[in-house]
Amino acid sequence: MKEAFPKTLLPDFQHIDPKQIKDNINDLLNKNLTMIDKLLEQNGSYFGDNLMQPLEDMSDALHKTWSPVAHLHSVKETEALRKAYNETLPLITAYHTRLSQNTRLFEAISSIAERTDFKKLLPAQQKIIENDIRDFKLAGVHLSPEKKSRMAELQQQLSKLCTKFSENLLDATHGWTLHVTDENDISGLPPQARQLAIDNAKQRKLPGYVFTLDFPSYSTAVKFLDNRELRQKLYAAYTTRASDQGPNAGKWDNTHNIEAILKTRYDTAKLIGHESFAHYSLATKMAKQPEKVLSFLNDLLQRSKPIAKKEFDEIKTYAKKRDDIDDIAAWDVAYYSEKLQHEKFDFTQEDFRPYFPINKVLNGLFTLVNRIYGIHIKEEKNISTWDPQTRFFALYDSNDELRAGFYIDLFSRQHKRDGAWMDECLTRRKLSDGSIQYPVAYLTCNFMRPVDDQPALLTHDDVITLFHEFGHCLHHMLTKVDFLSISGINGVPWDAVEFPSQFMENFCWEKEPLSLISAHYKTGESLPDALYQKMVDAKHFQTGIQMIRQLEFALFDFRLHLAFDPDQPPQTQKILDEIRKETAVLKPPAFNRFQHSFAHIFAGGYAAGYYSYKWAEVLSADAYAQFEENGIFDPLTGKSFMENILEVGGSRDPMTSFVAFKGREPSIDALLRRSGIG
């Protein structure tokens, strides 16, 4: 009999009162600060138990209180919650700044590293202390009081600006809709998307159809609507969200936020003594020099740009032949790409939906994880959640011992941030009484919700997204590290954190795993061999265009943070235009303001780090080649990957972990081969 996940450890989302958030957090922060002062009054010989353990206890207490609040802010925001979040965040930012600039605390932790018996600590404990010393220096512990005060101001500014960026984007995404009543205007729209548009209209008490800027609605419409004028309207609204352009120009404009964020980051880096924020960012990553990042990205660009040009020429030729279109525009590319793929390979992404009902995909994914890692996954009922469609699952090892849990929130809705992500609810650690705190993850996506009496049906692209985010969850949940700050994804360099997630995507292209996750929602039939073969044949369809799109994002992010100069006029659009001259095969229209919704770098953790997706893809492709060689369900290979990659968290250098698994350092060859570029 498997042990049920202890519900008392989980947040009670139904009873989080926005009115109490600020006071509760403030009390906890003050309590922690008082405890830290008492620790530092000892003036004794510090070691793990009398300093590091209490610090982790305090950090964990704060995380467990704030994490559910921050999560609700992302997935079920209300006016009251937004107000409470914005009032409380500055307190937390000030607290972390105060700790990171506490000279006495820095000296106490440094004294442990200077002890003659430092090496007697566990390697994981040594890693924590080395990371802490590095992070203290990056936070300005060595600065004068005046400069420390300036650093605190900068951290407050950055926190507020990034939050405002995210809120503007959320409001802009939900602040525009396209209402259509003429049946002819929705020609070409697949049945599932058509029903979603009807439901959107009904929710607003409107006749006909409503398209929104939520990704499931927008992306399907811009791919399939035959009406070119409507595609243009949708594209213009989507690519100008939260900007000075488009139908809501200036209403939730992120222009000022972008420039202010860049300046704040620049000033932070300069204050610490770094040449740019890109240099500052790399201090905690695998790639230590900007030249290494740029060389890596430019090498991929040189290899993929010629392929992308050929692919785009093919789209133009096809559009001319099919509809006599001479002036193909940005809002035509997805539409004609979809039509071209259908003509070449006789399928579209929508053809997959009937075969990927959500429960079958989840059950198959869990079976896959069981076969690779020996992990069992079981749903737990009667768990407090934030939405009726949110579910909770527990993980057990091969001995039926409880290992972890995760929430899963898969469908798009109002007041929920766009995109897909994993975040931490609880982190594994050994408690002072010797017991283990189980890790718990949040898995969040924005798939097309169930419509009418049909289950939610996924495209193959959706399945890849789900597998990607579940890879992050496994990295967090399967850790065996007992220390909070390097457990799971904590302490993992940002350019390695995408490794386990991108690794999981590879299984979505294999016949046997697909047979586990597919069954027609009406007939139960598995994905037909003919459709599977078409998908495989089309795997490298427009792979060059996809590659240069990601390289455009990565180069823009990195060069923006590398070259930013506050004494020059605003450079964001100028740098983006320069990058597009090097990367893009179709120049976007002048009104395009992609950067105003680039939340990864302006409201997330990817600033000067978006290159991590491609960097980590080298690791994931090369690691997966080991499974291809030994058998994708080979238990020994799975055991090695789990022990050397997933279980070690941030307790050691990622390159050391990769070599322990693979036997050598990674090669780019596997990535190029899997991308069809090599």
Strand ranges in 339-472 using DSSP code E only, listed in sequence order: 376-380, 391-396, 402-411, 421-426, 429-430, 436-437, 440-447
Q: Among residues of the chain, what percentage have pLDDT more than 70?
A: 99
The answer to whether the predicted template modeling score (pTM) of the entire model surpasses 0.75 is: yes
pLDDT on residue 452: 80
What's the chain's average pLDDT?
A: 96
Could you give the residue ranges of the DSSP H alpha helices within 429-498?
A: 460-477
CATH number of 354-537+614-675: 1.10.1370.40
pLDDT on residue 43: 67
* In the chain, domain spans: 7-100+102-138, 175-239, 257-331+542-607, 354-537+614-675
Residue 509 carries which DSSP code? G
Q: What are phi and psi of 444, to 5 degrees?
A: -125, 130
Quote helix, strand, coil % in the chain, to nearest 5. Answer: 60, 5, 30
Classify each residue of 542-573 as buried b or exposed e, where b means 16 or more C-beta atoms within 10 Å of its C-beta. bbbbebbebbbbbbbbbbbbbebeeeeeebbe
Fold classified for 7-100+102-138: Glutathione S-transferase Yfyf (Class Pi); Chain A, domain 2 (1.20.1050)
For the segment 351-360, the average pLDDT, to the nearest whole number, is 97
331 in Cβ contact with 231 (< 8 Å): yes
From the list 56, 167, 350, 469, the catalytic residue is 469
The 10s digit of each residue's pLDDT in 227-245 is 999 999 999 999 999 999 9
pLDDT on residue 369: 98
pLDDT on residue 2: 75
The 10s digit of each residue's pLDDT in 444-476 is 999 999 988 889 999 999 999 999 999 999 999
Please, what CATH class does the domain formed by 257-331+542-607 belong to? mainly alpha
pLDDT on residue 350: 94
Q: In what order do the strands lie in the sheet with 376-380?
A: 376-380, 391-396, 402-411, 440-447, 421-426
pLDDT bin (cut points 50, 70, 90) of residue 145 is very high
Indicate the helix (H) or strand (E) that contains 212. strand 209-212
Residues whose CB falls within 8 Å of the CB of residue 149, separated by 6 or more in sequence, listed in order: none
Q: Which of 587, 614, 586 is nearest to 300 (CA)?
A: 614
The 10s digit of each residue's pLDDT in 599-650 is 999 999 999 999 999 999 999 999 999 999 999 999 999 999 999 999 999 9
Domains 7-100+102-138 and 354-537+614-675 agree in fold:
no
> How far is 316 from 313, CA to CA, in rounded Å?
5
pLDDT on residue 49: 81
> How far is 233 from 242, CA to CA, in rounded Å?
16
Q: In 10 A of CB 460, how many CB atoms?
A: 21
pLDDT on residue 1: 54
The 10s digit of each residue's pLDDT in 489-539 is 999 999 999 999 999 999 999 999 999 999 999 999 999 999 999 999 999
> How far is 228 from 327, CA to CA, in rounded Å?
12
Active site includes 469?
Answer: yes
130 in Cβ contact with 202 (< 8 Å): no
Q: Which of 286, 248, 196, 204 is nearest to 498 (CA)?
A: 286
